[in-house]
Structure 1
Amino acid sequence: MPVRTTARSGIRRTTTATGLRATAVAILAAAALASCTQGKTDGGLRADPSVPSATASPSADPVENADQAEQAAAEATEEPTARAEPGPELVRDAFATLQATLGETCTPGAGDCAYFLGRVTQELTELDEAMRADPKGPGHFKQPLADMKVLFGKLGKDRSTPHLEKHFSEIVGTRDGINTWMQDHPDDYR
């Protein structure tokens, strides 16, 4: 029902704001009342702890239920993600990070090789993955992939510093050989 109000200028107008406010207050009151009623019957603050909750199993842990509810809500809001097709920039980016190691070196046995050899090996692994996933196909990168395959065959799964130092020449040689190959194929990294 419209309510008439008088403004300072003396103009009379009709407004429904008061009616909307009254409706909002009534809805909030009803929600609060429903909330209080549920609190007494299904495990709220005033519930009798000896009476099992109507919404939870008698042996359920409230923290576990909260965790499960949170996880279910997160899963419901997550969108399924399709694996993005790798673009040619993956090879470019992987090669750029490998190139960043060109000015670095270490002395095997001197204790300064752990980071360097680990980094070069990781960069070679990422470049290998990028080349295999590139739209041009692994056939385009035949030589560098073959060189990395030989290196990874020698290294195996052992990435310890002594083992990497043992294969220092092969690691650095593979890095330098791939750099030379890539320099002859500028369309792959520019």
Structure 2
Amino acid sequence: MRCWAAAALASCTQDTPQDAASASSPASPSAAPADNADQAEQAASEPTEEPALPAEPAPEAVRDAFATLQATLNDTCTPGAGDCAYFLGRVTQELTELDEAMRADPKGPGHFKQPLADMRTLFTKLGTDRSTPHLEKHFSAIVTTRDGINTWMQAPPDDYR
């Protein structure tokens, strides 16, 4: 028995002298699918010259990024008490991801003018220092920015809840 690996020919056939002759004859209409299938199998088994690079992940959708920021609304901490590292780090990260999603949104950054301006102001204050003492120093700015964006995002006509 001989099995052909063509997408259109998914069954096994028994070789006969006529099958062997038609498989080797390029003019035979039945030879083309088998030859193409053999070539496709061979090409699929050969490694490509350059490995495909993984695509960069697309920024989250604005609604999804906003949902994760909203999950922090009832959370808080007491600056200086040692319980702010996770909270402030998370809120800052959620704001960063929301900023990226808004900039990549098909509506364009102009649609998100106010929240992007608020985040830019916050990120300018924070700089690159994401240490707990530095974030605690800017606790009010971080929480105020989060809360202001929450209010803006739930305003009509584009309620992102």
Q: Name the TM-score class by shorter chain.
A: 0.5 to 0.7
Instruction: Give unpaired runs (5+ residues) of structure 1.
Output: 1-14, 17-72
**Partner of 1:177: helix, strand, or coil?**
helix
**CA apart distance, 1:79:** 3.9
**The one of 150, 154, 159 aligned to 2:125:** 154
Give the Cα separation in 2 of the matches to 1:186 and 1:96.
Answer: 18
Moved over 2 A (4+): 75-86, 185-190
**The one of 152, 157, 161 aligned to 1:181:** 152
In structure 2, what is the equivalent of residue 111 of structure 1? Answer: 82
The answer to whether residue 61 in structure 2 is matched with residue 90 in structure 1 is yes
Indicate the structure whose relative CO is greater, using CA pairs within 8 Å and at least 6 residues apart. Answer: 2
Greater Rg over alpha carbons, structure: 1
Using a 3 Å threshold, how does the CA distance of structure 1 residues 159 and 186 change in structure 2: closer, same or farther?
farther
The answer to whether residue 135 in structure 2 is matched with residue 164 in structure 1 is yes
**Partner of 1:187: helix, strand, or coil?**
coil
**Partner of 2:112: helix, strand, or coil?**
helix
Give the Cα separation in 2 of the matches to 1:136 and 1:126.
Answer: 17
Give the Cα separation in 1 of the matches to 2:68 and 2:76.
Answer: 15
1:109-157 deviations in Å (ceiling 9; x for gaps) = 0000000000000000000000000000000000000000000000000
CA RMSD in angstroms comes to 2.5
Using a 3 Å threshold, how does the CA distance of structure 1 residues 131 and 178 change in structure 2: closer, same or farther?
same
Give the Cα separation in 1 of the matches to 2:82 and 2:58.
Answer: 41
**1:147 maps to amino acid:** D
TM-score, normalised to structure 2, is 0.65
Tell me if structure 2 keeps the 8 A contact 1:101–1:120: yes
Tell me if structure 2 keeps the 8 A contact 1:92–1:188: no
Using a 3 Å threshold, how does the CA distance of structure 1 residues 101 and 186 change in structure 2: closer, same or farther?
farther
Tell me if structure 2 keeps the 8 A contact 1:113–1:161: yes
Tell me if structure 2 keeps the 8 A contact 1:91–1:188: no
Using a 3 Å threshold, how does the CA distance of structure 1 residues 135 and 157 change in structure 2: closer, same or farther?
same
More helix, by proportion:
1
Instruction: Report the count of equivalent residues.
Output: 117
1:146-184 deviations in Å (ceiling 9; x for gaps) = 000000000000000000000000000000000000010
Identity of matched residues, %: 79
Give the Cα separation in 1 of the matches to 2:157 and 2:73.
Answer: 17
Give the Cα separation in 2 of the matches to 1:186 and 1:119.
Answer: 28
How does 1:3-18 map onto structure 2 within 5 Å?
Answer: none
